Structure 1
Amino acid sequence: MAFLPADQRELFLPIVEGIHENPPWSAFMRNLVARTYARRAFMLIALANAPADHEPTVLHVAAPRAANEPPLDFRQIHALNLHPYGQLRSERVYDLDEMLDYDRRDQLARQREVLNAMGVRYGRWLRISAPGVADAWLLLVREREDFSASAVATLSTIAPHLASALRTLGALIEQRLQAAMAQAALARMGAGQLALDAGGRVMAADPEAERWLAFLPDPDHAQGRRLQLLPETARALEARCAELAAAPAGATTALMVDERRAIWLLLRKANLALVEPHAAPAVIATLRMGRRENERSAVRTIAAIHGLSDREAALAHALTMGESILEAGRRLRLTPETARNYSKRIYAKTGARGQADLVRMVLDGLAPFS
């Protein structure tokens, strides 16, 4: 089957670009329904490491003539006990008749009755598998006549491309998870980060930095941004970035970028380990706002790590907030004598050599991430 430039534009490119859509492959599915003259369709994506009770991602598509019809109920179709999804050979196109149970007449009659009620008389199944990463199932249905040989050939041709895209999507999902974990940990501590080039242009910013800082389009770069700063501060940032770009590894400096809100940036020469191809930043800028961890979670963490009682852990956490033993005791409704006795037990259990050492121990541990 010969493919034209239109096929490239309407099918193959949307498979690649669809990796970044939410949900993935929306444009591809619309184009595929139009190309095969399907009436309705769905794509179901299940990640290999998803918990058992996690709902798969399901994308429903209908042709314009079926826009007012209900979407295909994949749960109801699954309940018909058609050919088990996991046993379908990956990248092979299956006719609906191959999925029916011809060995049991009663079951076959029930399957046909339910499918007919859903307007499913003709269908094509396609399973795409990325072992250890994800599985996808694609179903296209028609009501009045079967799919043409050309439509089936189209499905067969796009199958390996879709399988490759599914593997890429799995890798991208893992990277997104890694980034989300890192960003969430920083956000719990009120920290945000930006990647800057040697001229101070913003290459990337995490959600916490986006929240606290303002940005302007870079007039010299169509896709670039710069921090919205006072002119003298902007010039200072550019100069610091240029200096750090030429500095030895580990070089740092600090710059006040918003005096009214007391926002400082810690600028560090970037030394990120990136794979090729990459655009390496010259500087990583870190900001930190006045935010502390959830008190209850932190107290539970301190108690678990150091073998403290809940009251002892609450007192230890209060000390890390800058309170004295007596101030913390009053807030926790402890008498001065009880607060002092608790502090002695805390020092004994944690091995801290005093209040300052205890504060260091807690802040160096996991409590700030609670």
Structure 2
Amino acid sequence: MAFTPADQRELYLPLIEGIHETPPFGLFMRNLVARTGARRAFLILTLANAAPEQEPVVIPVSAPRAAQEPPLDFRRLAALGLHQHRALRPGRVYALDEMLDYDDPAQLARQRDALEDMGIRHARWLRVSAGGAADAWLVLVRLREDFSASAVSLLSDIAPHLASALRTLVALIGQRLQTGLAQSALERLGIGQIALDAEGRVMAADALAESVLTFLPEPSQRAGRRLQLLPDVERQLENACATLAAGNGPPVCVLPVDPRRHINLLLRRADLRLDDPAALPAVVGLLRLDRREDHAAGASTLQALHGLSAQEAALAHALSRGEPLVEAGLALGLTAETARNYSKRIYSKTGTSGQADLVRLVFSGLAPFS
């Protein structure tokens, strides 16, 4: 079937753009319900590597004439013993009769009664797969009349495009997971980052930088934002970005973006490796807040890494925060003499030569990520 302008406008473009919606494909589902004459529908999305207890994403949609009716209950449908969703052949449209259990008359009667109670007399099922990484099940129902041949044909035609969109969504979810992992680790260290072009425009910023810095829309028609800075600091930023991008001068520059809050920005020439197509930043700006890991979690990590006792680990973590030995020991209920004995055992077990060396070991290890 040839694509019509209405198909492109109402289905295919919303399908492509729907990967960025939360939850995804909402507009596509609403338009599909309207185009097929469905009364109610839902789309279930499951990821292959999701935890067993993780709920699938369910996007329910109702036509305006069914706005006052409850959405389709996918769990109740699943409990009816219909044809197993995972056994459906991807890309094929199934009618309601194909889902019923005709081998067991009693079961068939229960299924029909429950479907009637749910206002389902006609339905279509469609499964799409993203190469084993994810699956989606589309269910559309009607009450009075069955779906037209053109509606079923439309579902068949849309199946490969929905599968392609699902694969794209899975790839995007993977990228989001990678980004989330990196940002989570950096946030635990109190680190925020921004990407800048050679003229000092902000191309991107992570969540911590967004929460700490203030951004203004770029006044010109060019893409990007600007940091809200004092005029003199803004000129320093622009000059530093131009110098670093050109490879001239020192390899880094420190810019006091907010002296009142003691926020400085370390600027360095960007060395990111991104797949094409990509707009490469010229400069990366990094800020760091005074943030340390939870004391109990940090001590537990040191205990596991270096074979310390619980008290030794707690004292070692306190020393890594710069606390004096005697005061740190007293806070843990240790006498001064016991604290000194503990410190000797800590230095021996960790292979360090004193508190300064212990601080180095802790900061360069796993404890700050606890």
Structure-2 separation of matches of 1:211 and 1:16: 31
1:240 matched residue in structure 2: 240
- For 1:42, the aligned partner's letter is F
Deviation at 1:131, TM superposition (A): 2.2
Q: Distance in 2 between matches of 1:48 and 1:250?
A: 49
345-354 vs 111-120, which moves further: 345-354
1:249 to 1:59, Cα distance in 2 relative to 1, 3 A: farther
1:147 alignment partner AA:
F
Q: Distance in 2 between matches of 1:250 and 1:91?
A: 59
More divergent stretch after superposition (329-338 vs 68-77): 329-338
Structure 1 residue 359: Cα displacement: 1.0
Matched with 2:278 is 278
Secondary structure at the aligned position of 1:128 is classed as: strand
Counterpart check, 1:295 vs 2:295: yes
Q: Deviations over 1:124-172 (max 9, x none)?
A: 0000011231000000000000000010011001100000010110010
Give 1:165's aligned residue. 165
- The match for 1:77 is 77
Q: Which residue of 2 aligns with 1:4?
A: 4
- Report the CA distance between 1:251 and its aligned residue: 2.1
Contact 2:40 2:62 in 1 (8 A): yes
User: 1:145: which partner in 2?
Assistant: 145
Aligned to 2:187: 187
Aligned residue in 1 for 2:130: 130
How far apart in 2 are the matches of 1:247 and 1:366?
34
Aligned length: 370
Q: Distance in 2 between matches of 1:340 and 1:120?
A: 76
SS of residue in 1 equivalent to 2:260: coil
Q: How far is the alpha carbon of 1:222 from its aligned partner?
A: 5.2
Give TM-score scaled by structure 2 length: 0.98
Q: Is residue 196–residue 281 contact of structure 2 (8 Å, CA) maintained in 1?
A: yes
Equivalent residue for 1:260?
260
Aligned counterparts of 2:316 and 2:223: Cα–Cα separation in 1: 48
Q: CA deviation at 1:97?
A: 0.5
Contact 1:245 1:283 in 2 (8 A): yes
Q: 2:109 corresponds to which letter in structure 1?
A: A
User: What are the within-5 Å matches in structure 2 for residues 272-351 of structure 1?
Assistant: 272-351=272-351
Q: Distance in 2 between matches of 1:221 and 1:310?
A: 59
Distance of aligned partners of 1:233 and 1:130 in 2 relative to their CA distance in 1, 3 Å threshold: same
Give, as a single letter, the amino acid of the residue that structure 1 aligns with 2:2.
Answer: A
How far off its partner does 1:81 sit?
Answer: 1.2
Contact 2:18 2:25 survives alignment (8 Å) = yes
Residue ranges of structure 1 left out of the alignment (5+ in a row): none
**What residue ranges of structure 2 are gaps of 5+ in the alignment?**
none
The structural deviation recorded for 1:85 is 0.8
- Paired residue type of 1:202: V
Identity across the alignment (%): 65
CA distance in 2, matches of 1:283, 1:264: 15
TM-score by length of 1: 0.98
Task: Give the 3-state SS of the residue equivalent to 2:139 in structure 1.
Answer: strand
Q: Which whole-Å CA distance do the structure 1 matches of 2:359 and 2:223 have between them? A: 45
Name the amino acid aligned to 1:37. G
**Aligned residues of 1:249 and 1:269 also touching (Cα < 8 A):** no
Per-residue displacement from partner, 1:219-241 (whole Å, max 9, x unpaired)? 12354210000000001001000
- Aligned with 1:54: secondary structure? coil
User: In 2 relative to 1, CA 252–110 (structure 1 residues): closer, same or farther, beyond 3 Å?
Assistant: same
SS of 1:340's partner is helix
**Alignment check: 8 A CA contact 1:250 1:268 kept:** no
Alpha-carbon distance in 2 for matches of 1:250, 1:136: 53
The aligned counterpart of 2:221 is 221
Relative distance call for 1:147 and 1:141 in structure 2 (3 A) is: same
On the 8 A contact 1:15/1:28 being kept in 2, the answer is yes
Amino acid paired to 1:251 = P
The CA deviation at 1:249 is: 12
Q: Deviations over 1:293-324 (max 9, x none)?
A: 11111011011111111110111111111111
1:231 matches 2:225: no
Question: Structure 2 CA distance, aligned partners of 1:153 and 1:94?
Answer: 12
- The answer as to whether partners of 2:243 and 2:249 remain within 8 angstroms in 1 is no
Match of 1:93 in 2: 93
CA distance in 1, matches of 2:296, 2:273: 36
Aligned-pair CA distance for 1:184: 1.0
Give the superposition deviation at 1:72: 0.6
Whether the 8 Å contact between 1:312 and 1:343 is mirrored in structure 2 is: yes
Determine if the alignment matches structure 1 residue 354 to structure 2 residue 354. yes
Measure, in 2, the Cα distance between the counterparts of 1:10 and 1:200: 40
